[in-house]
Amino acid sequence: MIHSYQTRVYYEDTDANNIVYYANYLKYTERARTELLREIGFESKDAIAKGEGFVVADLNIQYNASAKLDDIVDVRTRVLEIKPTRITLKQDIYKGDVRLTATQISLAYIDLEKGIRKIPQELVNLLEGYK
């Protein structure tokens, strides 16, 4: 299953030519990951309150085309791999049928005081639905 998150490109997202500034694509993917986790019942603020959560461990992004002011972009997320302490996601951003970016990101699960830890099994079970 693929999770879809749509957002509009706002003026604040663009450069002087009204094209999305390259780093802002990462903001779109972050929001999409947050919404995916929220959709399956994982609230980042609750995890942080317990002293745990996901952090970016590895990121690779390929830029293929640009979005512009007022475009609607769709971030499509799916789980590629689940390991005991990390997950790897594929996140592609589309404008219509055109793939703008292709991102692969690994997230480590951590205890804020002790470092990397196992992902809770109930969360693993929920994430399996997006493989």
Q: How much is the pLDDT for 101?
A: 98
CA–CA gap between residue 109 and residue 106 (Å, rounded)? 10
Tokens read off for 52: 């745990």
pTM over 0.75: yes
User: How does pLDDT run across 40-58, given as a tens digit for each residue?
Assistant: 999 888 888 999 999 999 9
- Look at residue 57 and give its three-state secondary structure: strand
Higher pLDDT, 45 or 119: 119
Handedness of CA 92, 20, 74, 105 (dihedral sign): positive
CA atoms lying within 13 Å on the CB side of residue 17:
6
Residue 131: pLDDT above 90?
no
Adjacent-strand bridge partners of 104: 60, 90
Residues serving a catalytic function are 15
Walk me through the domains of the chain, giving residue ranges and CATH numbers: 3-130 (3.10.129.10)
For the residues 4-31, what does the mean pLDDT come to? 98
